[in-house]
Amino acid sequence: MRIGMPISYSGGFDRTTAVIAEYEAAGLDTVYVAEAYSFDAVSHLGYLAAKTTTVEIASGILNIYSRTPTLLAMTAAGLDFLSGGRFTLGIGASGPQVVEGFHGVPYTAPLATTREVVEVCRTVWRREKVDHHGAHVDIPLTPDRGGSGLGKPLKLINEPVRPRIPMLLAAIGPKNVALAAELFESWQPAFFLPEGSATAFGDALAEGTAQRDPELGPLDISADTQLVISEDADEQAAALDQVRAKLALYVGGMGARGKNFYNDLAVRYGYAEAAAHVQDLYLGGKKDDAAAALPEEFVRGVSLVGPRGYVAERVAAFREAGVTTLNATPLAADHAERLRAIETLKALA
């Protein structure tokens, strides 16, 4: 398996980028840069491209609403050029809080919009004239969609490094997972539980794979996880507390009742009763209690926390479930320990 690592979007990316060369030397394959309501990810990715030589760089993720599809394609082509063909365009729908609350644009039809964004991006990279008239993307604008009708289709001036830049979709809902398997080179699920993955994602992956173009190759499954490799029980407990806190935030607080995709995922994993209880506690302001109410097997199952032998067993479980990239966040207290954890994980994978 390949090893990836996300970079925090909160804080100066000059400091985080300064140590990436060390992870690169330790065997790190991919660096993912997120974008929320922070510094933009594109600046960080460009800086990374200039400061690294072999590690692949990926947006993890850019939302599909705040940039036009052609701008997403132009940006990806530019980053792929700067990195010498090492860029993956990771996109996703994000959520109304960011899209509407921060960017001020409507959050509508995420599935159909994503499909059209993919079509436009690949048209741009092939240097074909962009003449796309979809339900949600209309290029060039026609009079009945509010445009002048005077625009003529244009194509990218530059010659991209690659005519098809790899694309990644972050998704956990069944319809979006099916879309990832159909159209994308890579799929990134959050809180991937190997033992529950077939139940939660199997049908959707099969549906999408049945429609997949063979030229895309096998789907890369980039599973998000958190990592501590240690014999120390206290270190393990501290790391699991961090996993619990993050899991409680998403399962309990990332959306209202009936509108929380992460809570829905926990239900599909078989934790319906616990998911409802965690949500009640979290939305009631009892965040610590919500974290404590998460089933132990769920917390341990989505993470890689424990001694080397145990982590090796869990890596094997992820591999058996079809994971091809472990996108691991090291939770150790200092840089040297985090670096060793990535180096060890690479050896185990």
**168: closest CA among 311, 317, 322, 62?**
62
- H/E stretch holding 41 reads helix 41-51
User: Which tens digits make up the pLDDT trace of 130-146?
Assistant: 999 999 999 987 676 66
318 or 255, which is more confident: 318
**216: closest CA among 259, 176, 180, 254?**
180
Highest-scoring range by mean pLDDT, 7-11, 13-17, 152-156: 152-156
When pLDDT is averaged across residues 48-76 and rounded to a whole number, the result is 96
CA distance linking residue 14 with residue 304, whole number of Å: 28
Tally of CB atoms within 10 A around 119: 16
The fold of 2-225+306-348 is TIM Barrel (3.20.20)
Asked if pLDDT for residue 150 goes beyond 70, the answer is: no
How much of the chain exceeds pLDDT 70, in percent? 97
CA distance linking residue 222 with residue 61, whole number of Å: 13
Dihedral of the alpha carbons of 49, 54, 60, 61, in degrees to the nearest 10: 50
3-state SS class at 331: coil
CA distance linking residue 39 with residue 19, whole number of Å: 19
**Cβ contact 28:58 at 8 Å:** no
Helix 261-268 vs helix 197-210: angle between axes, to the nearest 10 degrees?
110
Asked if pLDDT for residue 148 goes beyond 70, the answer is: no
Residue-level pLDDT at 13: 73
When pLDDT is averaged across residues 46-67 and rounded to a whole number, the result is 95
Residue-level pLDDT at 255: 84
Tokens 């997972």 -> residue? 177
Beta bridge partner(s), residue 90: 168
The dihedrals phi and psi of 62, each to the nearest 5 degrees, come to -100, 135
Confidence of residue 11 (pLDDT cuts 50, 70, 90): low
When pLDDT is averaged across residues 149-172 and rounded to a whole number, the result is 93
Asked if pLDDT for residue 193 goes beyond 80, the answer is: yes
Residue-level pLDDT at 18: 81
Q: Which amino acid is at 275?
A: A
CA distance linking residue 123 with residue 155, whole number of Å: 9
**80: closest CA among 68, 72, 88?**
88
Residue-level pLDDT at 149: 64
In angstroms, what CA-CA distances link 311 with 25, 171, 227, 272? 22, 25, 9, 27
Confidence of residue 96 (pLDDT cuts 50, 70, 90): confident
Residue-level pLDDT at 292: 98
User: Which tens digits make up the pLDDT trace of 261-289?
Assistant: 999 999 999 999 999 999 999 999 999 99
Torsion over CA: 59, 65, 71, 72 (sign) = positive
Q: Which residues contact 296 (CB under 8 A, 6 or more apart)?
A: none
Residue-level pLDDT at 144: 65
**How open is the CA angle 99-46-161, to the nearest 5 degrees?**
105
For the ranges 7-21, 65-79, 82-96, 109-123, the lowest mean pLDDT is seen at 7-21
Q: Domain spans of the chain?
A: 2-225+306-348
Residue-level pLDDT at 145: 63
Residue-level pLDDT at 97: 79
Tally of CB atoms within 10 A around 59: 27
Tokens 């365009």 -> residue? 89
User: Which tens digits make up the pLDDT trace of 311-338?
Assistant: 999 999 999 999 999 999 999 989 999 9
Residue-level pLDDT at 17: 80
User: Which tens digits make up the pLDDT trace of 211-224?
Assistant: 999 999 999 999 99
Asked if pLDDT for residue 175 goes beyond 70, the answer is: yes
Dihedral of the alpha carbons of 159, 161, 162, 167, in degrees to the nearest 10: -110
Extended strands (E) in 156-287 = 167-170, 186-188, 220-229
DSSP type of residue 318: H
Tally of CB atoms within 10 A around 263: 25
When pLDDT is averaged across residues 183-192 and rounded to a whole number, the result is 98
The dihedrals phi and psi of 170, each to the nearest 5 degrees, come to -85, 120
3-state SS class at 90: strand
When pLDDT is averaged across residues 120-128 and rounded to a whole number, the result is 98
